[in-house]
Structure 1
C-alpha cells in the first residue's frame, strides 16, 4: 500500500513538473566539440529523464544477472523450508489427533528438510510422537534437550514436570516446577504447582513470597491471588496459635482483610484474641462473620468464649446469635443445644423442631433425640427421632476431593491442591431415602408417638433408676437352688474275658497297609496251599 502511494505521488510530481515547464517555455543551447545544439527546455528535460530511467534499467539488469545464482539457490532453499514447515505442521496436527504413524513419518520428513538447530519444534513433534507410542524414555530425552535450549526451556520443563507427575516422582516434579518459576515467573502452571508443593511441605513463608511475585507478574487474577494468600496466612496463623498468639492474631486479621468470608481465619483470630483476654474484640469478629454466613464452629466458639460461664450464660449468648441472624437453622440449633444444657427443655424442643422444619439434617434429629431422652425418657419416641436422623441428609462438613475432615485444612490430602476444602454436605449414597424420595419434617414431627403411660407417671430420672436396678447383681437368696433329684450313674461294663490257651481265634487276613497294586490280583489261597504241598521244581 505504501509503495502504491509512493508511485502515485511520483507520477503526480512528474506531471506537475512538466506542466510547470510547459507554462514557462525556453531554449537550451549546448556547444560540444565545435557543434552547437539547440533545443527547447521541455525536450531537454524529457531526454534527461529518459536517460536516467535507461541507466536505472541497465543497472537493474546487471545486478539481476550478477545475483542470479544466489537468487536461484535462495528460491530452492525457501521451497525446501516451506515443505519442511508443511511437514512439521502436518505432524503436529497428527500428534494432536493421536496418529502416531503419520506423526512419526512427518517428523522424519521435517528433520530431513529443516535443520534442528534452526527449528526446535522438531524436538516437540518427536517428543509428542514418542508419548503416543508409549516410548516415555525417548520423550524424556527430547524434553531434556528442549530444557537445555534457551528458546524452548519452559516447554521442556513443562514436559518433564508432567512426566514426573505421571510417574509419581513428586520431588522431581517440584524441582522442575521451581526451575520454571524462577526462570519465568509469568508461567501460571509453574507458579501454582510450586505453590501447592510448598503448601504441602508447610513452607508458608516461601509460599507467600512466591505468591507475591506471581501477583506482581500478573499471573493470577487479583481475587484469586487474595483468596490464596488469605488461605496461606490462615494456615500460618493456625500453626503459630499455640506458640505465638500475637503473630497468629496478626496473620489471621490480615487474612480477613483479604477475604472477609473466610471462616477459619475468623476462628483463629478469635481464639488468639481470647487467649489475650480480648473477649469483646474476638466476639465482634465472630459476630461479623456470623452475619455473613452462620457456621456451627463459629457458634460453638462464640457460645463458649469464656470458660467459666454457666449454662444460662451460654444460652444468653446463643440467643444473641439468633438475634443477629434470625430464621436460620444453624441459629435455631445453637439455641436448642444451649437450652438443653440449661435444662430449658421446652425451649430446646421448640427451637430444634423449628430448625428441623427449615433444614432437616442428621444432627437436628439427633438433638431432638437427646431432648426427648432428657424430657420424657420414652424409648419409643427416642427411637423415632433416631430413625428420622438416619433418613435425613448428612450435615455439612469440611470436604475436599471426596474426603471429609473434622477440621479445616489448607491443603487437600488427596490431590495436594491449595484451598480445596469447602463447607458442604459430603456425598453419601445412603442419604435421606424415603418412600417418595423426600423427607418431610412436618410429617416426622406429627408422627411422633405419644408418651407411654408408664413413662408419664415417672420422672425424667426414672429411666436411669430403672437401668440402675436392672444392672444390680442377683442376690444369693434369689439364686435358684439345685433340686435333690437322684443322680443315675452310668452302668459299669465288665471287661471281656481273654480266650483260653487252647482255643484259637479266627482272624481275618490283614490287607496290606497301602493296598495292593492295581495290576496285582494277590496270591490266591488255593495256589498257596498247593505250593505248600508240592516240592520245589523248575518246570
Structure 2
C-alpha cells in the first residue's frame, strides 16, 4: 500500500517536472538558430527538443536498416544469421520435447515408443551424448540388445560418456551370462569411478564367481576404507575370502602361505568353521598341537560342529577310547549344553563301551529332536546294552524318515549344500550358508552334509555302489555271548576305536573277545543260542518241525540316500 502511494507520487512528480520545464522553455525568448549553406533555421526551445528526438529515432532506424543489409549479405554468403538462429531454436524446442517424451516412455516401459522419440530427438538435437544414451536405454527397454550394444560402443568414444558405455556393456554381458568379459568391463569401470557403489558390488560379486579371491579382498578393503561397509561385516567377508585363498594356495602346494591365510581367517572370524579346521590342520602338520587345540576349542565355544571334533581327533589319532574321552572333556566343556556336545560325548562313550553313560549323555534328544544321527546313536546304545532286535529295528525304522539334522543351508534361497562354500551354487549369494536344519520340504531331496545317514556307528560308511551296500531289509542277528563274556553282553556291542566324528569302516566293528567278528556279518556263528531265546516245542510223539523263520517287515533304504554319498565326517565349511 505504501509502496503504491510512493510510486503514484513519484509519477506525478515526474509529470509535473516535465510540464514546468516545457513551460519554462516556452517562456524563454532565446531561439535556436541553425545556419547551413545560406539557409537559416530558427527554432524555439520546445521545437529544438522535438527535433532532437526525431533525429535520434531516424539514427536508430538507419542503423537497423544497415544491420539488415549486412545480415542479408551474410546470409547470401552462407554465414549464420538471425534467421538460422530462429530455426535452430525451433528445432531445439522440438528435440528437447521429444527427448523428454522418450525418457517418460523408458520409465513407463514403452520400448518402441521410446525408440521413436529417441530417433526424433537425435534428428533435432546436436547432442549425441544425450540422444545416444536415450537410444541405448530405449533399445534395452524394447529388448533389442544388439542395438543397445552398438550404441554403448559409440558412447565409449566420448570422455563424458565412456563410463556410461562401459557400465552398459557390462550389464549386457551379465545378462548374456558372459561373466569373464563382464569382469573385465567391471574392472575398467571401477578404475574410472572407484567410489561407485554399484560397480563395487558388481565387481566383488564377479570376482567371487571367478574365484579371484585376491582381487576380491582388495575390492573389499577399498569398500571398507571408503566407509561403504561396516567394519564387522568387512572383517567377516575378508575372513571368508582369506579362507578360500588359503584353500587354493594349499592346493598348489604352498602350505606356508595357506597356513598363514587360514590362521588369519580364523582369528578374524572365530565362528568360521572351515577356517578353524584348516588352521588347526596346518598346526597339526607343523606338530604344533597346542595351538591346534586352542583354535579348535575357541571355535567350539562359539559354534560346535562335527568337523571341529574330527580335526580335534586328528591331533592324537592313535589314542585309545578312554584316553580320547578324557582329552575331549576339555573340548566339550567349552560348550557343554549344546546338542552337538551331547552327541559327541555319547559317541565317545559308545567307543569306550560305556552304554549307560552314552544314554545319559544323549538324554532326551531322541525324543525332543529326533534326527538320523540321534536315532542311530540310540540304536547303537540299545544294541550295546543287549536289547532285543525289535527295539533296535524300531529305532532304525524311525531313523529312515527322520530329519537329517543341521546342514549347510543358504539363507537367501534355502538351497542345501553338502559342503560349505563362500558362494551358493543356486543363487550365487556370497557368504549366505549357515549351519542349521533346513525345512522339511528339502530334507528328503538333499544328502546330509555330515554323511551321517543310516546308523553310522553300526554299519560303517556308505558304499560306493549298490552291490556293496548293507541290506537293511534283513533283520540284524545278534551274536550269542561268548564263553568268556558275561550273560547279556553281546559281541556286537563293541564299537570301533576311531576318531569321534569320523564314520568307522565295517571292519572296524569288532568285539573285545574276537577281533574277527564284525557287526555286519549276516550269518550267525554256529554257536548254541542262549536259552532265553530258544522256544521249546511241546512234547509230542511226532518229531518237532523245523522252525520257520518269522517274516519281518522289510526296511528299505530310502531313495533319497545315495550309496556313494560323502562321508559326514569330511571337513565342511561355514560360518
1:197-236 residue pairs with structure 2 within 5 A? 197-236=206-245
Q: Residue 26 of structure 1 aligns with which residue?
A: none
Are the structure 2 counterparts of residues 399 and 453 from structure 1 closer, same or farther at C-alpha, using a change threshold of 3 Å?
A: closer
Distance 2:242 2:492 in 1: 53
Distance 1:234 1:383 in 2: 43
1:53-452 residue pairs with structure 2 within 5 A? 81=92, 84-117=95-128, 120-241=129-250, 243-356=253-366, 359-376=369-386, 378-400=388-410, 403-429=415-441, 431=443
Kept in 2, the 8 Å contact 1:303–1:317? The answer is no
Are the structure 2 counterparts of residues 236 and 377 from structure 1 closer, same or farther at C-alpha, using a change threshold of 3 Å?
A: farther
User: Deviation string for 1:296-322 (max 9, x for gaps)?
Assistant: 222332244212322112222333233
Larger Cα Rg: Structure 1 or Structure 2?
1
Range 94-103 or range 229-238, more displaced: 94-103
Range 169-178 or range 67-76, more displaced: 67-76
Distance 1:469 1:390 in 2: 20
Distance 1:169 1:255 in 2: 31
SS in 2 for 1:313: helix
Are the structure 2 counterparts of residues 94 and 312 from structure 1 closer, same or farther at C-alpha, using a change threshold of 3 Å?
A: same
User: Deviation string for 1:253-277 (max 9, x for gaps)?
Assistant: 3223433332222222221112222
User: Deviation string for 1:395-416 (max 9, x for gaps)?
Assistant: 2222345554443223334455
Distance 1:364 1:206 in 2: 43
SS in 1 for 2:409: strand
Q: Residue 75 of structure 2 aligns with which residue?
A: none
Distance 2:365 2:492 in 1: 29
Gaps in structure 2 of 5+ consecutive residues: 4-55, 72-80, 445-476, 482-486, 494-516, 527-575
Which of the residues 491, 496, 499 maps onto 1:461? 491
Distance 1:201 1:465 in 2: 48
Range 73-82 or range 293-302, more displaced: 73-82
Kept in 1, the 8 Å contact 2:384–2:492? The answer is no
Give the superposition deviation at 1:171.
Answer: 2.4
Match status 1:470 vs 2:500: no
Are the structure 2 counterparts of residues 391 and 121 from structure 1 closer, same or farther at C-alpha, using a change threshold of 3 Å?
A: farther
Q: Residue 450 of structure 2 aligns with which residue?
A: none
User: Deviation string for 1:281-334 (max 9, x for gaps)?
Assistant: 222222222222222222332244212322112222333233221321111011
Kept in 1, the 8 Å contact 2:479–2:492? The answer is no
Report which of the two has the higher share of helix: 1
Distance 1:260 1:71 in 2: 76
Kept in 2, the 8 Å contact 1:185–1:214? The answer is no
Kept in 1, the 8 Å contact 2:358–2:381? The answer is yes
Are the structure 2 counterparts of residues 194 and 468 from structure 1 closer, same or farther at C-alpha, using a change threshold of 3 Å?
A: closer
User: Deviation string for 1:114-164 (max 9, x for gaps)?
Assistant: 2233xx232232223223333221111112222333222222222212221
Range 216-225 or range 272-281, more displaced: 216-225
Are the structure 2 counterparts of residues 462 and 259 from structure 1 closer, same or farther at C-alpha, using a change threshold of 3 Å?
A: closer
The Cα RMSD (Å) is 3.9
Kept in 2, the 8 Å contact 1:198–1:204? The answer is yes
SS in 1 for 2:318: coil
Are the structure 2 counterparts of residues 232 and 469 from structure 1 closer, same or farther at C-alpha, using a change threshold of 3 Å?
A: closer
SS in 2 for 1:324: coil
Are the structure 2 counterparts of residues 80 and 466 from structure 1 closer, same or farther at C-alpha, using a change threshold of 3 Å?
A: closer
Distance 2:373 2:387 in 1: 19
Range 295-304 or range 453-462, more displaced: 453-462
How many residue pairs align between the two structures? Answer: 394
Distance 1:73 1:128 in 2: 32
Kept in 2, the 8 Å contact 1:311–1:342? The answer is yes
Are the structure 2 counterparts of residues 164 and 287 from structure 1 closer, same or farther at C-alpha, using a change threshold of 3 Å?
A: same
TM-score, L = length of structure 2: 0.59
Kept in 1, the 8 Å contact 2:180–2:210? The answer is no
